[in-house]
Amino acid sequence: MLLFAFSRDGLQKAVTERVGQCVLTCPTTACYDGLPGTPRDKQIIVGGQLRFFGDGFQFSKKLGTRRFWRIPVMDGEFVCEDRIGTIKGVAGGNLLLCAANQTQALLAAESAAAAIREVADVVLPFPGGIVRAGSKIGSRYKKLKASTNDAYCPTLIALTRSELPPGTGAVYELVIDGLSADAVGAAMRAGLHAAARCSGLTLITAGNYGGKLGKHHYHLRELL
C-alpha cells in the first residue's frame, strides 16, 4: 500500500489515522513497514502511536532491529510495526481523456485505470482512479488555490476559452502518484495505450499547468 502526503508531518498524521480507523479495525489484518532499513529520521511512528488503543494490555516485540506492537483485539491481536519508512515520491502525473459522450469517456478512463494498476510502484489516488472534477491553478476567488478546469468542461465551451475539440461531450482525468519519475511515466504510457484502443475519443492530452507543478515533465508523444 502506498500513501502520499505533501510533507512527512502530514504523512505521519494521515497514515496513523488511516491505519487506526481502517486497518486495525479490519478482521485478520496486520501492518508492516514496506521500506525496512529507512534511516530513522525518515521514519514515521505508527505502531508506537496506535499501541495506546491496547489500554495498557499491549505488548512490545522486537525481531532483529525491528520493533512491533501486539495490540489485543476481539479476534486475537493486531500486530503493527512501531515505525514505518518514508521516501520522496512523485505526484501528479495525469491524463485527460476527452470523448463524444460520458459513456465513451468513462469506458476509456476505466480501461486506462485498469492498465495503470498493473504497473509497479504507482497508485491512482482518486476513487476508482478517475477524476471528474479536474482543476486548474488559481481562481477568481482569492482564497482558492485551485478551481474547476473550465477549459476542459464541455458545458462551458461557449463561456470560456475552451481547449476541447468539436463534438466533445465529457472529459475524465487520471492522476498518478508513484515512487519514481520512471514509474509514473510507465503508468502514463500504459494508460495512454489502453485508452487509445477505445472508441469515441476526441482527444487525449494532459494538464500542463504552465510547468509550475514540480520538476518532472512528461511529454505524451515521447511516452508513446
Provide mean pLDDT across the span 33-43: 94
Q: Which residue do the cell numbers 505533501 mark?
A: 6
Residues 59, 80, single domain; the answer is yes
Residue 144 has pLDDT above 80, yes or no: yes
pLDDT of residue 213 exceeding 90, the answer is no
User: Rounded mean pLDDT of the chain?
Assistant: 94
109 phi and psi, to 5 degrees?
A: -65, -40
With a cut of 70, say whether residue 210 has pLDDT above it. Answer: no
Total domain count, the chain: 2
- The CATH number of whichever domain residue 53 belongs to comes to 3.30.70.520
- Whether 190 and 129 map to the same domain: the answer is yes
Give me the pLDDT at residue 29, please: 97
- The answer to whether residues 142 and 114 belong to one domain is yes
Q: Assess whether pLDDT exceeds 80 at residue 139.
A: yes
Q: Which of 36, 66, 85 is the last residue of a domain?
A: 85
Question: Can you give the residue range of the structural domain that contains 191?
Answer: 90-223
The reported pLDDT for the residue numbered 164 is 97
Same domain, yes or no: 126 and 198: yes
Looking at the structure, do residues 94 and 178 belong to the same domain, yes or no?
A: yes
Helices 181-196 and 102-116, interaxial angle, to 10°?
Answer: 140
CA distance 144 to 20: 31
Co-location of 117 and 218 in the same domain: yes
Question: Which residue, among 173, 195, 176, has the nearest Cα to 186 in the 3D structure?
Answer: 176
Asked if pLDDT for residue 185 goes beyond 90, the answer is yes
* In a domain? residue 1: no
pLDDT for 211 equals 63
In this prediction, residues 65-84 reach a mean pLDDT of 97
Residue 199 lies in a domain: yes
Q: What contacts 58, CB < 8 A, 6 or more positions away?
A: 51, 52, 69, 70, 71, 72
In percent, the amount of the chain with pLDDT more than 70 equals 98
Task: Give the tens place of pLDDT for each residue, 103-122.
Answer: 999 999 999 999 999 999 99
- In a shared domain, residues 81 and 94: no
> CA-CA distance, 174 to 186, in Å (whole number)?
14
* Residue 23 confidence (pLDDT) above 70: yes
Percent of the chain with pLDDT over 90: 87
Structural domain contains residue 214: yes
Measured in degrees and rounded to the nearest 5, phi and psi for residue 78 equal -100, 120
Residue 161 confidence (pLDDT): 94
Instruction: Average the pLDDT over 174-200 and give the result.
Output: 96
Higher pLDDT, 24 or 209: 24
Classify residue 29: in a domain, yes or no.
yes
Q: State the pLDDT at residue 219.
A: 85
Are 209 and 102 contained in the same domain? Answer: yes
Residue 55 and residue 103 in one domain: no
Can you give the pTM of this predicted structure?
0.87
171/97 same-domain check: yes
Domain for residue 190, yes or no? yes
Q: Report d(CA 83, CA 42) in Å as an integer.
A: 10
Q: What is the pLDDT of residue 212?
A: 63
